[in-house]
Structure 1
């Protein structure tokens, strides 16, 4: 079969390569076209060279094109995959730096909290531009697969305002299931059957069975506390498991910034996180990791290009949803996964308009969600706090309403636990001014925000955070990689 897949933000080189090789693991998909598009010609050139090398090494008829003209890439595409980061690392640095001045310490800052909300404000106008192009030039009935964060806000905007058939995709559920299977001593994650439901990055394993045997809270707590690694890295997640009775999909660091209880005081932050890797709670951890990864790739590009000459191994196909969804839609081989869609009654105790993440099945008829799921009350309450913030954030982004944006940030659980209303109002003004280049819908509000900032008496401080690490140099990364290789 032959069809076209467009990848927006294809300059996210490592992730694009993974999606590409996953899709080509499907035998029927070798004669398709990949149209890559990105704002960066430099990154496009690098990823196209890698994908061309893969095609050549595997003697495939696959066609790969690359262009900075998005509409050209989308023309006639049956599937559009987005993995964009609007504003890049420059804007992302402000998402972390400015809230720290007001005492808000984020690990990732890409979903909710102050950083995630402003990230959404940058993304949503661009997402709507994507949707306009999809409606106008893509194939009839084209499906938009969104991998970009903030997942719920982006997907909400694309469905509600972009009027495009959209599904949001994340790998948090798969990773959480792999952890649970490991601590329970399973030989393979396939031995674990589960129902996981909620909202993106706050999804909950509400039913667990290992080889058909139900797993309860006490057994799961004991298994995590006995594990030599996870007992140290996932202290916060284990504490939530003890109190809520169910395990969260999201990493220790991510989960800590969605709740109002664990990151509101510096001494509490260091108590609950682990510094063995960024994902366990380090201040600005993902920003540091992303910066190091970019620098590493730029320097080590020849090695990445050489590695692309290896044959594709279907046994190494990843558990990212995209290739499996496309396979199910095109071949009718049924796929079960967890998808971000509009609720519409799927979860009984969350709002109808919310973007939920829950189990579904895919075949040639589309994505079919398992309806009638009811979350435990504590899980629903935690999700509701984020949903309310997401809804206000989406509406603010659509209208360019800075007052509503401030209310969204004020109602964020962690922000509300740390900052006063006066601090929130000034912080949002400061972030909108700093990120104005990526916030066209707020252009009218920037002059007044600058004026307020010039007169403000709200005190701030220069603070690196409770657990900040410096970006490592290429030489340090090489030395660390060599040491790990020698130790292994």
Structure 2
């Protein structure tokens, strides 16, 4: 087989390498072309050197190109994969820092909440540019695989306004299933069969079977509470399981941001999170982790390049969906996974226009979703609250309507639990002014927002958050890795 895959945001070096090696685990794909594109020439050259080393070490005919000219990379592409972060860590820092001044404490801030909504405002104009290029220069039936957050907003914009065949991909379902298999004592993940449905980062395991035996709420609660690690790291998720009756796919820290109950007071935050790793609820945890990862990669790049000389091991192919979807579409080997698509009746009690995450099967005819799923009422209510925020956020990003953007933020569950309307209006003004370089659709609104900020009487505070940690130095990271290696 010979076709072209374009990866936008290929400077996300570690993730690009994973996707690349996964895809090359499919024997039929050895003759394909990977076209890498990014706004950073430096990052592009680093990842290209790594992928070239992999190709050379495995004696493959695979072709790898790299260019900052996105349109050139997309020419003739059959598949386009996006893993971009518009605004980089600079804008992301404002997604965390500014809401903290108004009492909004986020762990990740990339899906909804104040940070996720502004992240979507930065991404959506760029997503539409991607789609325009795809329509004009890629293969006629190009498929767009979006890995970038905010997943639902990006996918919504690409489908409704970009008019490109799009699927959103995430690994939260797989990670949740791994936890459940572990606490239930499964010998392998294959023993666990499950139906997981909802929206991205608020997906719910509504049917669980271990070796064909149905697993109920009480058994699952007991299994998590008996686990020596998860009982401490996933306190909030376990509490939601007890009250809702089903387990959420999303991590303790992520889930805490989408609900109005657990992060609205500092003392409540520390009660429900765990500081053993950022993902369990640390204030700005993913920003710290991302910063450390970037610094580590820059410093240790020669080691990453050397490691690329190892043979590809198909047995270590990851559970990221992309390679499995491409394999199914091109070879007709059926793949079952969980995909982000427009609802269109798949989930009966969620809005039809929403981007849902639910089970589907892939073969040469495309992605075929399992329809007619009904969520438990509490799960549907929680999802609908987020969907309403996502819809307003997408429409605001398209129109550049700053008043609609403020209403979207106001209706966010956690923001609404913490902030007054006056605070929300000022916070959005402050975020739009700070991020104006990445928000072209709001250029007309920035002068008035800046003027309002100069006369506003709304009080803020400089606050690090309830559970903030400093970015660790390279020396500290080396010491930690050495200690972990010595411990076994």
Question: 1-side partners of 2:348 and 2:189: how far apart?
Answer: 28
Per the TM alignment, residue 148 of structure 1 is displaced from its structure 2 partner at its CA by 0.1
Runs (4 or more) in structure 1 with deviation over 4 Å come to: none
Deviations 1:284-312 (A, max 9, x none): 00000000000000000000000000000
Question: 2-side partners of 1:236 and 1:479: how far apart?
Answer: 31
Per the TM alignment, residue 473 of structure 1 is displaced from its structure 2 partner at its CA by 0.2
Per the TM alignment, residue 362 of structure 1 is displaced from its structure 2 partner at its CA by 0.1
Deviations 1:342-372 (A, max 9, x none): 0000000000000000000000000000000
Per the TM alignment, residue 392 of structure 1 is displaced from its structure 2 partner at its CA by 0.1
Question: 2-side partners of 1:71 and 1:17: how far apart?
Answer: 22
Per the TM alignment, residue 275 of structure 1 is displaced from its structure 2 partner at its CA by 0.1
Question: 1-side partners of 2:142 and 2:398: how far apart?
Answer: 23
Deviations 1:203-239 (A, max 9, x none): 0000000000000000000000000000000000000
Matching residue of 2:232: 232
- For 2:258, what is the secondary structure of its paired residue? coil
Question: 2-side partners of 1:299 and 1:138: how far apart?
Answer: 36
Per the TM alignment, residue 250 of structure 1 is displaced from its structure 2 partner at its CA by 0.1
Question: 2-side partners of 1:440 and 1:307: how far apart?
Answer: 41
Question: 1-side partners of 2:262 and 2:275: how far apart?
Answer: 16
- In the alignment, structure 2 segments of 5+ residues that lack a partner are none
Matching residue of 2:51: 51
Structure-1-length-normalised TM-score: 1.00
Per the TM alignment, residue 241 of structure 1 is displaced from its structure 2 partner at its CA by 0.0
Deviations 1:317-346 (A, max 9, x none): 000000000000000000000000000000
Question: 1-side partners of 2:226 and 2:375: how far apart?
Answer: 27
- In the alignment, structure 1 segments of 5+ residues that lack a partner are none
- For 2:55, what is the secondary structure of its paired residue? helix
Per the TM alignment, residue 382 of structure 1 is displaced from its structure 2 partner at its CA by 0.1
Question: 2-side partners of 1:162 and 1:95: how far apart?
Answer: 25
Question: 2-side partners of 1:130 and 1:418: how far apart?
Answer: 36
Question: 2-side partners of 1:279 and 1:16: how far apart?
Answer: 22
Matching residue of 2:257: 257
Per the TM alignment, residue 244 of structure 1 is displaced from its structure 2 partner at its CA by 0.1
Question: 2-side partners of 1:356 and 1:127: how far apart?
Answer: 19
Q: Name the Cα RMSD after superposition.
A: 0.2
Per the TM alignment, residue 6 of structure 1 is displaced from its structure 2 partner at its CA by 0.1
Question: 2-side partners of 1:39 and 1:339: how far apart?
Answer: 28
Matching residue of 2:114: 114
- For 1:145, what is the secondary structure of its paired residue? strand
Question: 2-side partners of 1:437 and 1:401: how far apart?
Answer: 17
Per the TM alignment, residue 139 of structure 1 is displaced from its structure 2 partner at its CA by 0.5
Per the TM alignment, residue 451 of structure 1 is displaced from its structure 2 partner at its CA by 0.3
Deviations 1:236-260 (A, max 9, x none): 0000000000000000000000000
Deviations 1:21-72 (A, max 9, x none): 0000000000000000000000000000000000000000000000000000
Per the TM alignment, residue 79 of structure 1 is displaced from its structure 2 partner at its CA by 0.1
Number of matched pairs = 488
Deviations 1:81-102 (A, max 9, x none): 0000000000000000000000
- For 1:404, what is the secondary structure of its paired residue? helix
Question: 2-side partners of 1:106 and 1:471: how far apart?
Answer: 16
Question: 2-side partners of 1:140 and 1:117: how far apart?
Answer: 32
- For 1:257, what is the secondary structure of its paired residue? helix
